[in-house]
Amino acid sequence: MSSCADFVDGDLLVIKTIFFFFFSGMACIHPYIAVYMRHQGLLPSQIGVIKSAGNFMSVIIKPLLGSIADKTGRPKMVAILTVVTASILYFSMVFIPPVPSSTAPTQATRQQRHLAEAEISGTDYTQSRSSLTFWLFFWIIFFSHGVHWSAVSQLEAATYQIMKKNGGGEFGRQRALGSVGFALFAVLSGVAMDTFPSESQYPGNGTGAATDNPDNKNGYSVGFYMFLTFMVLTVTFLLLLKDWSTESCTGFLKSMGRLLSQVHLLIVLFVVLVLGACDGASDTYLFLHLKNLGASQTVLGTYLMVKNAAEIPFYIVACWVIRKLGHVATIGSSFLIFSLRFLLYSFVSNPWWVVVESTLNGYHAVTWAAATSYASISALDDLQAFAQGVVATTFYGLGHSLGNVVGGPIFQGYGALVFFRSFAVSCLIGFLLFCVLYMYFARKQNPTGEKILSVFF
């Protein structure tokens, strides 16, 4: 009955369409932002700082925009303004000039020298974080990243509210279209960038940026225009969607304090933080490594498609895995999977091999299901949304920020081999630490009633 209701209910059809267009648009540029910044002449350490700043700001912006939507009682308008504002900021990155070459000063170079905070010359100037290129990327991503991804939470809240009002539907069926769009257009946008290069915007040697490959003139602008098209469609269907309302939790601060004072939950959140750091470091610096190996946008897009598609069967069997292993063991096992992934990445010499290894990312679906389920079991009924927000913020906001900040200097200073293998060893240490902490400090508080880590001991 619920599946029939999904396709008969007009509001749920609109929700599906919105998720598809939104994630299709994000697939066109979000995975490629790191390599785009590198193409424009920024250093890996600078890229790590920029992405970390954006992830950190999302920790603040996401709950702020949610509270504004609740307080004003106009969540639909807030969601539309959120998507429009962030889309304009994201698209403006296509106009950011590359870091000027120190060997061929031009008028653009002289203008940037006047804007630099310190008098730097030659290579020092080109690599300086006070360059115009660095600060434009920094502030645009600083404000736009959290704003844009907060729209996902607002759309998810709208989905739950509409399903509740209409008395039917399943959340997974609505959200699945977003995964389909992301997997599909991650590879299609990569192919489009390779097929339609923009030579005039990214000069190879002359006055252009110190790119990842002097002869690589990929048309990143094609991805930005595809992104803009999908965002326009997203806003159009948001306007067609009927309004929804939210309810505030009474005694929110007191209930929140009780939830976050549970030691067992804090330990799990610590693990989510570390896993998020591994995921963030992998997302950012794996692409830079592949570009150094000569990977085309088609390779990167294919990797993203396989990586996201691999999660689908794991989502299907996630409940079965959790019942067999238990929530805690399922979450802890992710350390072992990440360790294996980093180790395999360190042996990659042909960029296409990473496409095969990306299938290991499918286990992320099981980990995510276990982490969100554990948080849901630990929280009261009136704190379910907050509990899920804490897990998402810890993983994607704080975790990704930590991974980018720590990973940048290692990748730049010691290279990809040391970077991947040091993270592989760190994951093993994290696994042992998690087992010890939970066994000795949280086992008696476990809310699931499962035998803790019996699969390991």
Report d(CA 58, CA 62) in Å as an integer: 6
The predicted pLDDT at position 335 comes to 93
Q: Are 374 and 327 in contact (CB under 8 A)?
A: yes
Q: What is the DSSP string of 387-414?
A: HHHHHHIIIIIIIHHHHHHHHHHHHHHH
Extended strands (E) in 278-383: none
The predicted pLDDT at position 108 comes to 46
The predicted pLDDT at position 105 comes to 39
The predicted pLDDT at position 234 comes to 94
SS3 assignment, position 166: helix
The number of C-alpha atoms within 13 Å of 196 and in the hemisphere containing its C-beta is 11
Report d(CA 249, CA 270) in Å as an integer: 26
Question: Which of 142, 161, 145, 127 is CA-nearest to residue 38?
Answer: 127
- Residue type for 365, please? A
Question: Which of 321, 287, 326 is CA-nearest to residue 304?
Answer: 287
Q: Are 299 and 290 in contact (CB under 8 A)?
A: yes
The predicted pLDDT at position 93 comes to 93
The predicted pLDDT at position 388 comes to 67
SS3 assignment, position 347: coil
Rounded to two decimals, the pTM is: 0.67
Provide the token pair at 220: 């990143």
Q: Are 200 and 217 in contact (CB under 8 A)?
A: no
pLDDT per residue as tens, the chain (457 positions): 444 445 456 778 888 899 899 989 998 888 888 888 888 888 888 887 888 788 778 777 776 776 676 666 677 888 889 899 989 999 999 998 888 765 333 444 444 444 444 444 444 544 444 478 889 999 999 888 878 777 776 776 676 667 667 766 555 566 677 778 888 888 788 888 878 765 434 343 333 444 444 344 457 888 999 999 999 999 999 988 877 665 555 565 676 677 777 888 888 899 999 999 999 888 888 888 888 888 887 888 788 888 878 877 777 777 788 888 888 888 989 999 999 999 999 998 898 998 888 888 888 878 887 887 787 777 765 566 567 667 777 888 788 888 888 888 898 888 889 999 999 999 999 999 998 888 887 666 666 665 555 545 4
Cα Rg, the chain, nearest whole Å:
22
SS3 assignment, position 210: coil
SS3 assignment, position 314: helix
Structural domains of the chain, ranges and CATH numbers in brackets: 1-243 (1.20.1250.20), 251-457 (1.20.1250.20)
Provide the token pair at 376: 């849901």
Burial class (CB in 10 A: 0-12, 13-18, 19+), 286: buried
Q: Are 15 and 155 in contact (CB under 8 A)?
A: yes
The predicted pLDDT at position 358 comes to 86
Any idea which residue has 């962030």 for tokens? 86
- Eight-class DSSP state of 351: T
Q: Cβ–Cβ contacts within 10 Å for residue 57, how many?
A: 19
